[in-house]
Amino acid sequence: TAPLLRVDELVVDLPRPDGDGRAVRVVDGVSFDVPAGTTVGLIGESGSGKTMTALAVIGLLPDRAATGGELVWRGEDLLRPGTDWRRVRGHQISMIFQDPLAALNPSLTIGRQVGEILRRAGRPRAEVRATVIDLLGRAGVPEPERRMSSYPHEFSGGLRQRAMIALALAGNPSLLLADEPTTALDVTVQARILRLLRSIQQEQGLAMLLVSHDLRVIAHVADEVVVMYAGRVAERGRAAEVLRRPGHPYTRALVASVPAVRTRTALADPLPGAPATPANRPSGCAFHPRCPLARDRCRTEVPRTREVAPGRWSACHFAEEVLIP
Ligand code: SF4
C-alpha cells in the first residue's frame, strides 16, 4: 500500500547568510516514506537538515527557500505551486514545536487556543468546550475543565507541551510532526511526554515524524529511523535493527556515543571531529573526514543510497563491511 507521506528526492536550497547570491543545499536528495500509523524518527546532529526536512513537510520553510523533488501526501505533491497549506496544516498534518512558550499565544487562555481550529470550523460553542476538555484530558492535563482558563505562563514546561499536543490534535490530523518535542524539558518530564506521544500515536493510529538529535528519544518511540548527515540520508530502516546493527559508519559512531543505547560496553565514545555542514560539505561522502573506514573512493564519489539488506538502505560504499556483526 502507498505510504501516507512519501518524501522523494527532496531538495531545499537556502540563500547564503552573507547574501552573495549563491544558495546552500541544506537538504540534498532526501527520500523516505512515512507509512500510516507508524512513527518515523529523523535523527542527526545540527546542520544535518532534519528540521528543514520537517519544515518542508508542513510548508513552513523560510520565504526564500527553493525546493525540488516531491512530497507526496495522499497521492498529491505538496511541493506543487498552488497547494492550499491552510487546508493541510493543522488539519491533516500538525506540528509540535520544541518551545511551546514561543508557539503558544501568551495573551490567550489555553482553552481558547486549543479550541480555535474548532471555532473556525463553525462548531457550536458547547461542543467546542466539550472537545477542548476532552483534548486536554487526552494530552494528560489534569483538571482540564479548570485548567482550560489558564494562560500559558501559568503552566509548567511539561504542561505547556501537553497543551501544545492537545492543540496539535484538535484538527484531527493523520500525521503529527514533532520537532525536538522534549529537548526543553526536564529528564523525568521528557520520558512522560514521550510515553504520552507514543500512546496517542498508537491509540489513534496516527503517523508521527519525530525529529531529534537524541538517539535515546528515537530509540524510545520510533518504528523506523532515518539518519541524516550534512543534508543527506546516511541510512534508514527499522529503528530496532538500525540501532542494534548499524549499516553506516556514521550511525555506528552515533550509537557508540550514547551509553544507554550502546549494548556492548557501558562507556560512550564521543563522535570524533565536528559535523560537516551543508555550507561546507566535504567532497564525495560528506562523512569521510570523520570516518574510520574512509578510503580514496570516499573522497571523490558521492555514495548512492542502496538497499543493503531487506528494508535497510545505506549511503556508504562499504556498508557491507559495517553490517558484518
Ligand atoms: Fe565512510 Fe566511505 Fe562509507 Fe563514507 S562511503 S561512510 S567515508 S566508508
d(CA 273, CA 253): 11
Range list of β-strands (E), 221-304: 224-229, 232-238
Nearest atom in ligand 1 to the alpha carbon of residue 234 is 6
Q: What is the pLDDT of residue 260?
A: 63
- Ligand 1: does its nearest atom lie under 6 Å from the Cβ of 323? no
Q: What is the pLDDT of residue 42?
A: 97
Q: What is the pLDDT of residue 258?
A: 84
- Ligand 1: does its nearest atom lie under 6 Å from the Cβ of 290? no
Q: Which of 308, 24, 243 is nearest to 317 (CA)?
A: 308
SS3 category, 83: coil
d(CA 86, CA 241): 38
Task: Give the H/E segment covering residue 55.
Answer: helix 50-57
- Ligand 1: does its nearest atom lie under 6 Å from the Cβ of 318? yes
Q: What is the pLDDT of residue 294?
A: 96
* Torsion 236-242-243-247 (CA) sign: negative
Report how far Cα 69 is from the mean position of its chain's Cα atoms.
19
* Residue 233 · residue 31 · CB < 8 Å: yes
Q: For residue 217, how far is its CA from the centre of ligand 1 (angstroms)?
A: 26
Closest residue by CA, ligand 1 atom 3: 316
Residue 154 grid coordinates: 501559568
Q: What is the pLDDT of residue 63?
A: 87
Q: For residue 312, how far is its CA from the centre of ligand 1 (angstroms)?
A: 16
Q: For residue 49, how far is its CA from the centre of ligand 1 (angstroms)?
A: 19
Q: How many CB atoms lie within 10 A of CB 305?
A: 19
- Is the ipTM above a cut-off of 0.95? yes
**For the packed helices 110-120 and 125-138, what is the interaxial angle rounded to 10 degrees?**
120
Mutate to test the pocket of ligand 1, among 281, 296, 299, 317 (most ligand atoms within 8 A of CB): 317
Q: What is the pLDDT of residue 261?
A: 60
d(CA 52, CA 110): 28
* Residue 221 · residue 210 · CB < 8 Å: yes
Q: For residue 227, how far is its CA from the centre of ligand 1 (angstroms)?
A: 14
Q: What is the pLDDT of residue 249?
A: 96
Q: What is the pLDDT of residue 267?
A: 60
Range list of β-strands (E), the chain: 5-15, 23-34, 39-43, 66-73, 76-77, 93-96, 175-179, 207-212, 224-229, 232-238, 306-309, 312-314
Q: For residue 232, how far is its CA from the centre of ligand 1 (angstroms)?
A: 13
Q: Which residues in the chain show pLDDT less than 70?
A: 19, 260-268, 325
pLDDT, tens digit, 9 for 90 and up, residues 74-115: 989 999 988 999 999 999 999 998 888 888 999 999 999 999
